Structure 1
Amino acid sequence: MNNQQKRNELIAAHDNMRSHLYRMIDGLTQELLQKKISDEENSPDILSIIMHIGGAETYCFHKTNHDIAPKFTIEKCEDIHVKLVENTEGIRRVLETCPEDQLNIVLPSQDRGPSVAWCLLRTYQHGLYHTAQIAKIRHMISAPPIEEKPDTWSVAVDSVIDILCRFWND
């Protein structure tokens, strides 16, 4: 896989995860987004989980000295989509312009920080995990049902399988 293909695959994985997240939060009112579902101080509602996803993205990429956006905060529910798009645009910019060595999957160590590719895959997995929580919470709070089509979950999960197959089989 050449470097441009790596960039494209990593961007596609993020976009697929994000599409699934958008699908899971679509149609949720401010009341449902802020409905308390846990006594946890940091994650009592869906809105706090969304803020956690976005905050983890900005933090992780910041640790590689590749800032994607200002600190992730949401003042009002209408900001959710704007802030997530801002993060996605920053991630896309970093992936399109980072040095080629940052496209190798390098875990963080005492000697150096993680690579951009590692950060993308880490935040992808993290976002997908929490999106699954949001999907479950939707049922718990009697949110409106989600359209069965399109199947964004399978596409999102298969993104990493596609990357692994290409890396593994090259």
Structure 2
Amino acid sequence: MNVNKIDFYNLFLEEGHPFYQEIFPLDKDLFNHWVIKNLKKIAQIESFTDVTPSEKIVEGLSKLGYEHVHYQCHYSAKAASILNKEINYFTGFVERKSYSYSIITHSFNYFNNRIIDFSRIINLEDPIDEKNSGLPHTYFGIKIPNKFIFNYKQETLNDKSMKPLLYEWYLESIK
């Protein structure tokens, strides 16, 4: 995929609605340039088990106050980074093969040299159909420093905020 040809401004507004609506008043060209400059290809996965966090990681975070909410990528990824400073937070997107939406906005973590995606913890009452999920998935993200995310600790942990913080980090990083 050639990221230089993607209109991230519209991708985030359309596919990521309502979580990215704050970017609407931004200059489209400046925002797209910033995303391209900061976006990193992290890894490609062949199965959700490649990125599902271990029970040990989830239990460790739970002891620190993490409350898992199934399929809530932005909240889960931020909460993990707030509670464990060694877990890095990324927000961006996942490219999927053979799927109606080939690119979906997404937040995830990076820890011990691998992606950890809390939204891939399976809810047995509403499981993800991995077979029809367009695997392989390629993860792309912008790293937002834990120190910055910590500013949003209360709304993340208390309110389970799904705000991805892309807009806020953009404004902070262009100062």
Tell whether the structures are fold-level matches, with TM greater than 0.5.
Answer: no
In the superposition, the TM-score normalised over structure 1's length comes to 0.27
Structure with bigger helix share is 1
Larger RCO (CA within 8 A; separation ≥ 6): 1
